[in-house]
A and B are shown apart, each in its own frame.
Chain A
Amino acid sequence: MAKSMPEMEEYKYGFRDEHKAIFQSGKGLTPEIVRTISEMKGEPEFMLNFRLKSLEQFNKMPMPQWGGNMDDLDFNDIQYYVKPSEKQGKTWEEVPAEIKETFDKLGIPEAEQKFLAGVSAQYESEVVYHSMQEDLAKQGVIFTDTDTALREHPELFQEYFGTVIPPADNKFAALNSAVWSGGSFIYVPKGVQCEIPLQAYFRINSENMGQFERTLIIADEGSFVHYVEGCTAPVYSTNSLHSAVVEIIVKKDARVRYTTIQNWAPNIYNLVTKRAVAEENATMEWVDGNIGSKLTMKYPAVVLKGRGAKGMVLSIAVAGKGQHQDAGAKMIHLAPDTTSTIVSKSISKHGGKVTYRGLASFGRNSEGSKANIKCDTLILDNESTSDTIPYNEIMNDNITLEHEATVSKVSEDQLFYLMSRGLTEDEATQMIVMGFIEPFTKELPMEYAVEMNRLIKFEMEGSIG
């Protein structure tokens, strides 16, 4: 009767393939390495200077004294740049067989066959595969990797790059700014509605390698785009660092939705800065799923800069054995009549730790603005923990702030009820957990919802008993 169940410690996507990089930077971080990266990419002078200044900034800034434990993180033990192959594949056939195999395991071709508007799959630091549907191109939408964007659209690039998250924003943004590589660049012209989500698949493959992608999205007035990225990474014994920066500019009346599911191996430090600026009547929505990693620190932010701007963060975090999810959201209300919604769902199990850390800030001009924050935590056993740390800054009397937090355990009666209908304890637990995160799952595109449910099932197997 008993179905075979994988061990919790076994990581599902923990395969790795033979890997031949064209260039590896070696470990450690020096100005020489930064110069080499910039030179190999054939970058203009301004970018080299930007990188070098950022490196200085990084070296000046102390490690954050809040959030998670980063004692095991050794910046000198990380490889900052790996270039996997000579050129980027234009079609699936052109992608090197070995890399393709990895993607096959991740199910990329199927995804491609479905509604893909463009696939920009990141293999290590370089985008090796990239395609785009013709009608998007016709509409003037630019969807490319960030390195290519720097070469081919320098004016757009320079106008917006680093404006939402300057290098000095925080130590990890400075690090990313110094060594960034890859990521997605999207520009949607005025009034253009991208009907189909744009997707990218990221993957870390090289041991000790940091992945520092840099994503920049500009949605011009009245436009709409939904960008989706999913992430899986193989198991490694030593610590690996992922430190991305995502900047988004949502112009007047435009709407951007950014959906991420990250399923990191248990040794990854995932320290990401994500921020959007929403102008007048613009809408920014972050849908953010964090599973695995050793430590995740991630607080997607929306700066509500124009009157009537709207921001939403809908997130889930799952922390298992030895894992800490320090995640949340920031909403910065700078203009009148702005609204924000934060829905955070966290699950901790097997001694995992989840922290909701959120900021709701109302500036002097935020007259008539509203924020609604809801944090729910589900704790699956007695060793696991959760914390809720909300920060509020209020400079205007005429605002509304609602905060609701719940912490619950899977109840004995619920388990009994489901089991009395024939579900095993694991199946019953899974069902309760899936129900708990349903507000998140239902916002995902179909294939990601399926993937998400599969991941959660896998994560929950053997959770109890």
Chain B
Amino acid sequence: MSTQFIINDLKASVEGKEILKGINLEIKGGEIHAIMGPNGTGKSTLASALMGHPKYEVTDGTAHLNGEDILEMEVDERARAGMFLAMQYPSEITGVTNADFLRSAINARREEGNEISLIKFIRQMEGKMKELEMNPEFAHRYLNEGFSGGEKKRNEILQMMLLDPKLVILDEIDSGLDIDALRIVSNGVNAMRSEDRGFLVITHYQRLLNYIKPDFVHVMMQGRIVKSGGPELAERLENEGYDWVKEELGIVDETVGQA
């Protein structure tokens, strides 16, 4: 069955303040949707709320992944249902090696007694690390501890590749990446494009979208998607900035704060 992800009128608050004011979006397997927008418009909140970060309270709306409302689920259940969020600021966990963590995450998706064999796991992990041009020693480093920004992002993509999710959210995966790293990370994402996987790519910059070609581009302002279009929309934003969108829609302040 091809993946289908439908967000319907999603509203969410942080500490009682409403940030998302009704998001509607439909992503089908094989599609890449990009969400663009200036700072403070609610892009990252959308990513975190969909994954279930406890700081964000969903006050209204639904989000169905292949017919199941993921908003009813715990964070780990969402993950096992096929959601994956590549984070802007991945946590560091001291004392836990990357390899141990990855293996636990893979096994969390498998029945007890059917855990991945160590050999198979190592082969998979090493293969993907090679694709991402990661130094093999990162397998034995503590999870994200002392990683540079770019290394963390690669590590997020490594996890995505090994966990084989159905709906991938990339939250500013391009921030802090140099051109080489951006190319490597994008290649990793492109290699994962398939009919049964949808992508939601959140970014400030059109630059990323030169590497990861979106099918749809959405602009977020004031906690809503205010404009949608094809790849040409991203190009226009790159060339002309956001002011024309604001003018067109009569928006003075695009951030959520003043709404």
A residues engaging B (CB < 8 A)?
3, 411-414, 416-425, 427-428, 431-432, 434-439
Contact of A421 among B52, B53, B54, B108 (CB under 8 A): B108
Asked whether any CB of chain A lies closer than 8 Å to the CB of B95, the reply is yes
**Which of A3, A420, A427, A439 interacts with B104 by CB under 8 Å?**
A427
Check A416–B53 contact: CB distance below 8 A.
yes
Q: Is the CB of A411 within 8 A of B74?
A: no
**CA of A240 to CA of B150, assembled, Å:** 56
Beta-carbon contact of B54 and A420 below 8 Å = no
- Is B80 positioned at the interface, with any CB of A under 8 Å from its CB? yes
> Which of B6-14, B85-93, B208-216, B247-255 faces chain A?
B85-93
A428 vs B80: C-alpha distance in the bound complex, in angstroms?
14
Chain B residues within 8 Å of A424, by CB: 74, 76, 108
Contacting residues, chain B, for A434 (C-beta < 8 A): 95-96
Say how far B147's CB is from chain A's closest CB, in angstroms: 13
Q: Quick check: B76 and A422 within 8 Å, CB to CB?
A: yes
Give a binary string over B43-60; 1 marks a CB under 8 Å from any A CB, 0 the rest. Answer: 000000001111100000
Q: Is the CB of A423 within 8 A of B94?
A: no
Query: Which 8 residue pairs spanning A and B have beta carbons closest together?
Result: A435-B95, A438-B95, A422-B108, A417-B91, A419-B75, A422-B79, A435-B96, A421-B105
User: How far, in whole Å, are A451 and B80 apart by their CA atoms in the complex?
Assistant: 29
B112 within 8 A of A: yes
CB-based nearest A residue for B145: A435
Which of B74, B78, B84, B94 has the most CB atoms of chain A within a 10 A radius of its CB?
B94
Whether B79 and A419, one on each chain, are in contact in the complex, defined by CB atoms closer than 8 angstroms, is yes
Q: How far is the CA of A434 from the CA of B94 in the complex (A)?
A: 9
> Beyond A3-B112, A435-B95, A436-B94, is A419–B104 a contact (Cβ under 8 Å)?
no
A3 to B112, CA, bound (A): 9
Closest chain A residue, CB of each to CB of B92: A414
Could you give, for residues 22-56 of chain B, a 1 whenever the CB lies within 8 Å of some chain A CB and a 0 otherwise? 00000000000000000000000000000111110
**Contact A414 to B91, CB < 8 A, known contacts A3-B112, A422-B109:** yes
> B98: shortest Cβ distance to chain A, in Å?
12
Max chain B C-beta neighbours (<10 A), residue from A417, A432, A434: A417
A420 contacts B51, C-beta separation under 8 Å: yes
Q: Which residues of A contact B74 (CB under 8 A)?
A: 419, 424-425
Instruction: Return A59 CB to nearest CB of chain B, in Å.
Output: 47
When the two chains form the complex, which single residue of A411, A417, A425, A439 contacts B95, counting CB atoms closer than 8 Å?
A439
Task: Check: B142 CB closer than 8 A to any chain A CB.
Answer: yes
Summed over the interface, the residue pairs from A and B with CB atoms below 8 Å come to a total of: 82
Partner among A3, A416, A431, A437 whose Cβ is within 8 Å of the Cβ of B75: A416
Would you list 24 pairs from A and B whose C-beta atoms are within 8 A, ordered by A residue?
A412-B54, A413-B91, A416-B52, A418-B91, A419-B52, A420-B76, A420-B78, A420-B79, A420-B83, A420-B84, A422-B79, A422-B105, A423-B104, A423-B108, A424-B74, A427-B76, A427-B108, A428-B76, A431-B104, A435-B93, A435-B96, A435-B143, A436-B95, A438-B96
Chain A's interface: helix, strand, loop or mixed, by majority? helix
Query: What residues on B are CB-neighbors of A437 within 8 Å?
Result: 95
- A421 CA to B90 CA, complexed, in Å: 12
Chain B positions 220 through 239: 1 when the CB is less than 8 Å from some CB of chain A, otherwise 0: 00000000000000000000
The one of A3, A414, A425, A439 in contact with B93, judged by C-beta atoms closer than 8 angstroms, is A414
CA–CA, A422 and B165, complex, Å: 11
**Chain B residues closer than 8 Å to A427, beta-carbon distance:** 76, 104, 108
Q: Give chain B residues whose Cβ lies under 8 Å from the Cβ of A3.
A: 112
Interface presence of B121 (CB below 8 A): no
B163 CB within 8 Å of chain A: yes
In the complex, chain B residues whose CB is within 8 Å of the CB of A420: 51-52, 75-76, 78-79, 83-85, 87
Whether, in the assembled complex, B62 has its beta carbon less than 8 Å from a beta carbon of chain A, the answer is no
Task: Give the distance in Å from the alpha carbon of A431 to the alpha carbon of B94 in the complex.
Answer: 10
Assembly CA distance A425 to B79 (angstroms): 12
B96 in contact with A422 (CB, 8 Å): no
B80 surroundings in chain A (CB, below 8 A)? 422
Interchain CA distance A418-B90 in the complex, whole Å: 10
B159 on interface, CB distance cutoff 8 Å: yes
Decide if A431 touches B163 in the complex (CB within 8 Å).
Answer: no
The 8 Å CB contact of A423, one of B51, B76, B91, B112, is: B76
Contacts of B78 in A (CB 8 A): 420
Neighbour of A418 across the interface among B83, B93, B112, B163, CB < 8 A: B93
